[in-house]
């Protein structure tokens, strides 16, 4: 059911495309100077080797970088950098599923069993009780594969190919977190299954459909869905983890370990364009966009709510986003990314360290996107 609150948020985002806000918003007013403290805090003591922040909107494009892209050479971060976007991939996956729903190929309220017969079985997990909508909204109760696959498992063999079914089968023997539809719990398993549904319905891989339906029409030349290729094409920072005292370079990584849940590569420019077009109705029919923006509380301290592949975050203390903003986090070995949109602006923040940044970096990342997008807290 579409809630009144969700409809109001949707209307606020769409109206921003035609309304002219006073002073054109904080991004236009302050520009790069406002982003400079954001990236410097991200690369300060206890921070990441390098950082990038970019805002796009009516006031133009503003980019700031800090630190280094490569700790060995000391090369600076390129403003045009491409990087692994982790779970922001889920927004692309959800968009494709919703497009297929709008075309009549997928029923969001049908059981997963209809599309993947016999696949979701194990412990008390049952695809006959879980709907496609619950996968996209993280209300399925399915255990998260990453609770049973540690970063060290991946670091020990970073170039290994992983099948989506193989990853799902790691999670399913474990008990569900809650009865489907009765709670909220973030699970990468949900989106691995969503990618498999795309393939079953279309006869093409998830990556093929993302490329055909989103990347090519929008001209996202810096965006690549997952394949076995371990490198990042074009200008990019090295990606690092800190399993102990020293940084370890994990730039070369087979992204099939994340697949439709987190395997994509993109850039700040492409992510900002994707969110702008998506939220202004350029990728989904009105009915499906309303479905995407119909939210459930996450129970997180932030007070956020989750739709279908997008999260709404309140920002009452931010003058530039009085209604909050839409966005998604993305964490992949080597990179941590935040992207969001509000009031005719889109912003992306990236650091080239994950995991192992510690509390200082976590706090800086928590503040970085709201500050870049909405301005400093009051």
Q: Which residues are catalytic?
A: 87
What H or E segment, with its residue span, contains residue 122?
strand 121-122
CA distance 312 to 307: 8
Whole-angstrom distance, CA of residue 84 vs CA of residue 87: 9
Query: Which of 113, 136, 123, 247 is CA-nearest to residue 189?
Result: 136
Residue that has been written with the tokens 């992204």 in this structure = 255
Residue 223 tokens, joined = 């965006």
Q: How far apart are CA 267 and CA 209, in angstroms?
A: 19
Contact 176, 125 (CB under 8 A): yes
Tell me how many degrees the CA angle 339-235-69 measures, rounded to the nearest 5: 75
Measured CA to CA, the distance from residue 83 to residue 86 in angstroms comes to 9
Measured CA to CA, the distance from residue 130 to residue 376 in angstroms comes to: 41
For tokens 């290729």, the residue is 229
Give the distance, in angstroms, between the CA of residue 158 and the centroid of all CA atoms in the same chain. Answer: 21
């Amino acid at each position: 059911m579409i809630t009144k609150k969700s409809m109001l948020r949707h209307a606020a985002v769409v109206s921003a495309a035609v309304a002219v806000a006073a002073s054109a918003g904080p991004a236009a007013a302050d520009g790069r100077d406002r982003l400079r403290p954001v990236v410097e805090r991200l690369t300060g003591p206890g921070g990441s080797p390098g950082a990038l922040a970019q805002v796009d909107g009516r006031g133009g494009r503003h980019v700031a970088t800090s630190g280094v892209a490569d700790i060995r050479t000391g090369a600076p971060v390129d403003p045009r950098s491409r990087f692994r976007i982790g779970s922001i991939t889920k927004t692309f996956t959800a968009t494709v599923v919703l497009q297929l729903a709008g075309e009549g190929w997928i029923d969001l309220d049908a059981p997963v069993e209809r599309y993947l017969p016999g696949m979701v079985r194990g412990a008390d997990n049952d695809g006959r009780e879980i709907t496609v909508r619950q996968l996209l909204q993280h209300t399925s109760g399915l255990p998260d594969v990453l609770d049973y696959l540690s970063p060290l498992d991946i670091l020990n063999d970073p170039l290994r190919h992983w099948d989506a079914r193989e990853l799902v089968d790691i999670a399913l023997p474990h008990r569900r977190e809650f009865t489907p539809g009765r709670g909220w719990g973030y699970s990468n398993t949900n989106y691995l299954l969503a990618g498999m549904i795309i393939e079953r319905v279309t006869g093409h891989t998830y990556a093929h459909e993302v490329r055909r339906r989103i990347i090519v029409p929008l001209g996202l030349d810096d965006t690549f869905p997952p394949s076995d290729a371990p490198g990042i094409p074009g200008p990019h920072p090295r990606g690092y983890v800190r399993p102990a005292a020293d940084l370890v370079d994990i730039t070369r990584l087979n992204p099939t370990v994340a697949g439709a849940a987190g395997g994509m590569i993109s850039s700040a420019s492409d992510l900002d364009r994707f969110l702008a077009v998506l939220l202004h109705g350029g990728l989904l029919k009105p009915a499906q966009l309303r479905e995407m923006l119909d939210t459930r509380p996450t129970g997180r301290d932030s007070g956020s709510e989750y739709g279908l592949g997008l999260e709404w975050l309140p920002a009452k203390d931010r003058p530039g986003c009085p209604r909050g903003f839409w966005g998604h986090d993305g964490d992949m070995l080597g990179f941590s990314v935040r992207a969001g949109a509000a009031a005719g602006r889109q912003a992306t923040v990236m650091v080239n360290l994950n995991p192992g940044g510690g509390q200082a970096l976590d706090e800086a990342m928590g503040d970085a996107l709201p500050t870049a997008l909405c301005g400093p807290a009051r």
